[in-house]
A = this chain, B = another copy of it.
């Protein structure tokens, strides 16, 4: 992807285009559209409702279709790819980088994948097959194969003359050259800035930096992102298990990983997928959401069932029915706070089994303080409302019990779920709510049954 086209007031231009679209002047709109950066076209497509979107996609020039596809979210990309003929797809992917092409290939129907592969020259096909051999969310899946390598024994002057032969320019986001030995094994990196500031008679070996550790092709994408963030990397070499350089990862792809991970956590909590298209077809959205509502309905019915066990008590003391949502809700809030903190701690690599008991102890202490405060407040309100010391005591105790249980589950769930291979960002909230509902209702109604009946 290119770094060199950066329109000024992007939003203003997109808005202007939208205005022209509204007037129906197709020719003018097409001209304006194809003056935009592919990323902006993708952005526009994603903000348009389906009908307008189809119209605009038809106006995109063939030469940028491939790049526009790359910038789209998965849902919309799939949808548009399904509507393209194989020859149109072949034309669109022609100019793409290997890593980008590999990303697209994963979404293409198998028949088209075959056609694309056979249309490539041998070197490009081999590179593509290497990239496809690694999972999309690994360093191998993220890497690009456009590496410029140099040998340690040559002088900087030789490197300079070698680079001057790249008449079409160096690959985008080239901040360093990769130094390899005769077998293609990784030795170090030569920063362009070091190339430019050192003596031309120096050898690469003298000037190169040894401290950039190469990334194993099998490293998980999120670990790659953490390393880029921590060490402020712009690009990093990727090697196979023998230390042979396979390609490099650039920071633009890492930014996408960071964004996608963050979205996964945010959207996962609502049972949405990070690729959910805001303007996806109604039926597709409805089906996805229905599933989540169904899962949550099960937990809601479980809570109902618990309440149902205390029907007789509620019939005697209706105040219990009035107050019971307070108990469940306070537990849910306290638990969610701890859960969110723990999920984030794991994602950032700050929380592991090792310091888990510290977090647990701290969270339980916080919870103890808060349950003490709010148990008293709620008890006082309940007393003022219903004039019963019994009910005030019962709700105070129930809130304390539920807050502590909620905090305990919130702290332990994420690591537990991960160990079971379940994504905490997706399942954590539902399970936590189940716990706080059940514990809250049992504590409150159970105590009431014991003391009031």
Contacts and interface: CB of A to CB of B under 8 A. Distances in A.
Given A229-B256, A230-B39, A232-B2, A46 B286 contact: no
Contacts of A174: 193
A185 B170 CA distance: 28
Interface residues of A, number: 134
A366 B164 contact: no
A227 B354 CA distance: 39
Interface stretch (A3-11, A131-139, A415-423): A3-11
Interface string A304-327: 100110010011001101111110
Given A211-B4, A252-B232, A285 B366 contact: yes
Interface string A259-294: 101110111011110001011001101100110111
Interface string A182-206: 0000000001111111100000000
Interface in A189-248: 191-198, 209, 211-213, 227-234, 236
Contacts of A163: 196-197
B314 A321 contact: yes
B192 A169 contact: no
A431 interface: no
Contacts of A197: 163-164, 166-167, 169-170
A143 to B, nearest CB: 15
Interface in A326-355: 326, 328-330, 333-334, 336-337, 339-341, 344-345, 349-352, 354-355
A293 B286 CA distance: 33
Contact of A172 (B230, B232, B326): B232
A6 B315 contact: no
A354 B349 CA distance: 40
B267 A258 contact: no
Contacts of A91: none
Contact of A5 (B8, B173, B231, B341): B231
A430 to B, nearest CB: 9
Given A47-B351, A272-B337, A175 B234 contact: yes
Q: Name the residue among A211, A231, A272 with the largest chain B CB count within 10 angstroms.
A: A231
How many copies of the chain does the oligomer comprise? 2
A349 B297 contact: no
A339 B289 CA distance: 13
A6 B213 contact: yes
A90 to B, nearest CB: 25
Contacts of A293: 330, 333-334, 370, 374
Please name the 5 residue pairs, one residue from A and one from B, whose CB atoms are nearest each other, closest first: A262-B262, A232-B252, A321-B321, A39-B230, A170-B193
12 contacts: A2-B232, A6-B227, A232-B252, A261-B262, A266-B340, A269-B269, A278-B344, A282-B365, A289-B334, A290-B374, A296-B330, A304-B323
Interface of A: 1-8, 10-11, 18, 37, 39-40, 43, 46-49, 71, 160, 163-164, 166-167, 169-170, 172-175, 191-198, 209, 211-213, 227-234, 236, 251-252, 254-256, 258-259, 261-263, 265-267, 269-272, 276, 278-279, 282-283, 285-286, 289-290, 292-294, 296-297, 299-301, 303-304, 307-308, 311, 314-315, 318-319, 321-326, 328-330, 333-334, 336-337, 339-341, 344-345, 349-352, 354-355, 358-359, 362, 365-366, 369-370, 373-374, 377-378, 381, 385, 433, 437
